Amino acid sequence: PRKVFSGIQPTGSLHLGNYLGAVRKWLQMQEQNSSDSITICIVDMHSITMPHNPPMLRDNIFTMAATLLACGIDPAKCTLFVQSAVLEHSELNWILSSLTTMPRLAQLPQFKEKSRQVRDVPLGLYVYPVLQAADIMLYKATHVPVGIDQLQHIQLAQHLARNFNGRYGELFPVCTPVIEQDDGSRVLSLRDVSKKMSKSDPNPKGTINLADSPEQIKEKIKKAVTDFTSDISYDPNTRPGVSNLVNIHAHVTNSSIATVVEEAKTLDTGRYKERVADAVIEHLRPIREQIDRHMANRKELSYMLEMGADRARQVAQQTMLEVKQRLGLGTYC
């Protein structure tokens, strides 16, 4: 049986990229195989590595939990919890930070991209992938579903597991990233196709949030960047903007790219955008209703997350006991 771990930042509300690139994969795993254990962590400690607003972070944690439930994540089948509630994440982060090097972290693309956005680069932003490895390794995860943008971070986690096992004896599985290879898993910003759709994008117009109203979705898709060719075709390299819409359209209607393109034969980009917007709105409508329902009951959300943290803690504490024993830390005898 697989041990699946996934983390998601409560930086902003969940967007279509997270949904198609990550959450849909969690749902498939949750429904597929009941012997797999699935751990989903709202990684709030990762969210303080960039400038943040505390009341907003707290709100976003609840919004994230509500959204995941609305998408169909079932706390009876998955362990869903908030990272900062389980202290062992920080503890293992510290230990792992002695097992890798500064040059290795400095060349990671996410660090390069995000450090450009701030004047003084916080140490936390630099160590971010080490904390991410700690998240994965605490639960001895074997499979980590992620978007393609996280591949280098998963490779760092693999390196840390091998390094630990080599120095202190076999303890951690070397995890396998689970990435859809058909490329449907990478959703681009609607405004700048050189970037992926992202929660922390300062320009909200490029991102469709699951909680957006139908009007907002219409407006954002209408203004999505395309090109000067008016018919619809799929070629991510030469026509990234239109292809991004085709990709989104195929996913939300559960059709193939070919079907979607064939059905759009008679439409120009303007008309096609209306069709895509309608499909996205229809797909997200029930999810949005469920988000509102869960958000109206924060007490229940908080209780559910605490139950999840209890379950996570049991595994995490056991792992830390083993780690400290191997390293000669503490007064274990």
Binding interface with ligand ATP (CB under 6 A): 8-9, 11, 17-18, 21-22, 146-147, 149-150, 185-187, 196-200
Residue 63 CB, nearest approach to ligand ATP (Å)? 13
In this complex, which beta carbon is closest to ligand ATP, that of residue 95 or of residue 130? Answer: 130
Residue 83 or 319: the one with the smaller Cβ distance to ligand ATP is 83
Considering the candidates 196, 218, 220, 273, report the single residue annotated as catalytic. 196
Told to judge if 77 belongs to the known catalytic residues of this protein, a careful annotator would answer: no
Is 196 known to be catalytic?
yes
Please say if 114 is a catalytic residue: yes
Closer to ligand ATP at the Cβ: 150 or 319? Answer: 150
The minimum distance between CB 207 and ligand ATP, in angstroms, equals 8
**Minimum distance of ligand ATP from residue 28's CB (angstroms):** 14
Ranked by CB distance to ligand ATP, the top (closest) residue is 21
Of residues 196 and 249, the one with the C-beta less far from ligand ATP: 196
Q: How far is the CB of 61 from ligand ATP (least distance, A)?
A: 12
Give 41: exposed, middle or buried? Use CB within 10 Å, 0-12, 13-18, 19+: buried
Active-site residue (options: 3, 25, 140, 199):
199
CB of 76 to ligand ATP, least distance (A): 23
C-beta closer to ligand ATP: residue 39 or 198: 198
Catalytic residues: 114, 196, 199
